[in-house]
Amino acid sequence: MSKVALLLGSLRRPGNGIGIASWLHPVLREGLNDTSSGTAHTGVDVVFVDPTKPPLPLGPIVDGSHVPADIRDPSKHPNPNVREFATFVTSCNGIVVLSPEYNRGYPGELKNTFDHLYWEWHKKPVLLVTYGSSGGANCSALLRSFLGGPLKMQVAEKAVAIKLPKSHSNGSDKAPTQGPAPDWLEQYRPEVLAAVAEFKDLISQQSSS
């Protein structure tokens, strides 16, 4: 059984993140378990990581006695929450990041989450899905730069950038958490599935290496 984490960049409630995640979760599961495209995987579990609940509520980085790069064994992180998260990340075959863009960058909480660990991220395949009035393209580019750079993750070339309708980015409408997905979201299904096919190959190469 493989495991993929769906990591949310936004904690805003209500917000568009939770609705987009509700739609994305089954699409990822479908794509990851589809044997007709990309590398054949079956039985891939997608674990929804709500950053307001364990194993993610890591808090600010306060422990200066060891920087994450000093800790090669996930069980050696001094803080129990970080240790739990490190063990969880190590157990995952890949990570999907679903993130909004705040002020032309990634949300602080998301950067904070990644900065808590170091070796746990190395070579881990990651797929980027961002959203915003312009699809979160700046956030996506910045994530790619530091995840693929200093953290040495394997970032899938194909990324998905979901443009929110104006009523959802500046207005009070939010992506629904139940019922059928709206057209503005559903139209990204083929793009997500194509990106997942590449992501599956990265996972497969990593598992067999």
Residues that bind a second copy (CB under 8 A): 10-15, 51-52, 60-65, 102-115, 142, 145-146, 149-151, 174
For residue 19, the minimal CB distance to a second copy (Å) is 11
CA dihedral sign, ordered 167, 163, 136, 119 = positive
**Nearer Cβ to a second copy (35/172):** 172
**Nearer Cβ to a second copy (26/108):** 108
CA distance to 1, 31, 39, per residue, from 171 (Å): 41, 32, 41
- Could you give the CA distance from residue 12 to residue 9 in angstroms, rounded to a whole number? 9
**Nearer Cβ to a second copy (16/204):** 16
CA distance to 43, 185, 193, per residue, from 163 (Å): 31, 9, 17
- Could you give the CA distance from residue 180 to residue 157 in angstroms, rounded to a whole number? 29
**Nearer Cβ to a second copy (57/182):** 57
For residue 24, the minimal CB distance to a second copy (Å) is 18
For residue 16, the minimal CB distance to a second copy (Å) is 8
For residue 49, the minimal CB distance to a second copy (Å) is 14
The number of residues making up the chain comes to: 209
